[in-house]
Amino acid sequence: MLLRQLEYFVALAQERHFARAAAACYVSQPALSESIRKLEQELKVPLVRRGQKFEGLTPEGERLVPWARRILADRDALKQEVVALQTGLTGELRIGVVPAASTTVTLLTDPFCSAHPLVRVQLEMNLRSAQIVERIRRFELDAGVLYPDQQDMTDLVVTPLYEEKPVVIASTELLPGKSDTITWSDAAALPLCLLTQGMRGRRLIDDALASQNLVVTPQLETDSLAALLAHVGTGRWASIVPQPWLRSLRPAAEISVLLLSEPAVTASIALVTSKAEPGSVLGRALVQIAGDAR
């Protein structure tokens, strides 16, 4: 069995199309098809359902895809380990990030890139926690920054990063006479721009409001953290955002930040990596950085 055959098989499972898989592997379609046929002969099981075109993987093929991905991931980890022993860490670190952590991820990437300047970091934003977990298990991502609760973490390493706590941000003109705190009812009365419904950060806000028998209908909704701050900066709107965002986004001086009184609402953000051994050397280095930063 050749690793190249596994690469072609995994590419076909990913693309679900012979021509696209061949293009992704920089080989001709006949060469890819023949290589997968030889893999089937060696394994003595059919992997692909064939007709006039690709019709999907066989049940045997679907079961063997995770094994093929694991073997290739171990191959890549071995290469990274050898290079690290010789010259220090190199390669590409792939991190999936939920939207709520798209700015706070700098708390990890900044010290990581400082410690390992030869490593390239690829951030994939706007993924849901479940999508990140799935892609870590498929060895398509080295790590994820996500909400770990409500996810199955049995084969993953979870490193807590911080707790989200919502705060109100608004221009001083919208908050005359306010101190350092504000009630949820007063916050609900402000002209709000909020995250889009369905996003985890928005659900936390809606649940807290519902516990006070409050409902808001914001004039503006967005899935962009930067867009929220930009609209608050106009002075027309207020917003409710996780306090850790402000560590990296740094709102303008004329923007006030108020803590919300009871009920207290928090959500955990964590770094998640595969528990598979020996695993990604880059992933292990990122966990080390996260531990040092806590």
CB 267 within 8 A of CB 146: no
Residues 205 and 261 grouped into a single domain? yes
Residues 102 and 230 grouped into a single domain? no
What pLDDT digit, counting tens, does each position of 1-13 carry? 788 888 888 998 9
In this structure, is residue 154 part of a structural domain?
yes
Q: What are the residues whose beta carbons fall under 8 Å from the beta carbon of 100, sequence distance 6 or more?
A: 147, 164, 199, 200, 201, 225, 242, 245, 269
pLDDT at residue number 200 = 82
What pLDDT digit, counting tens, does each position of 226-282 carry? 888 889 888 899 999 888 877 766 666 678 888 887 777 788 999 999 988 777 788
In this structure, is residue 60 part of a structural domain?
yes
Instruction: Give pTM, 2 decimals.
Output: 0.67
Tokens 């941000």, located at residue:
169
Phi, psi of 157 (to 5 degrees): -100, 125
Please tell me the total count of domains within the chain. Answer: 3
Does 86 have pLDDT greater than 60? no
In this structure, is residue 77 part of a structural domain?
no
CB 165 within 8 A of CB 266: yes
114: CATH: 3.40.190.10
In this structure, is residue 74 part of a structural domain?
no
User: Structural domain of residue 236, as residue ranges?
Assistant: 166-265
Residues 146 and 185 grouped into a single domain? no
Residues 155 and 23 grouped into a single domain? no
Residues 212 and 233 grouped into a single domain? yes
pLDDT at residue number 75 = 85
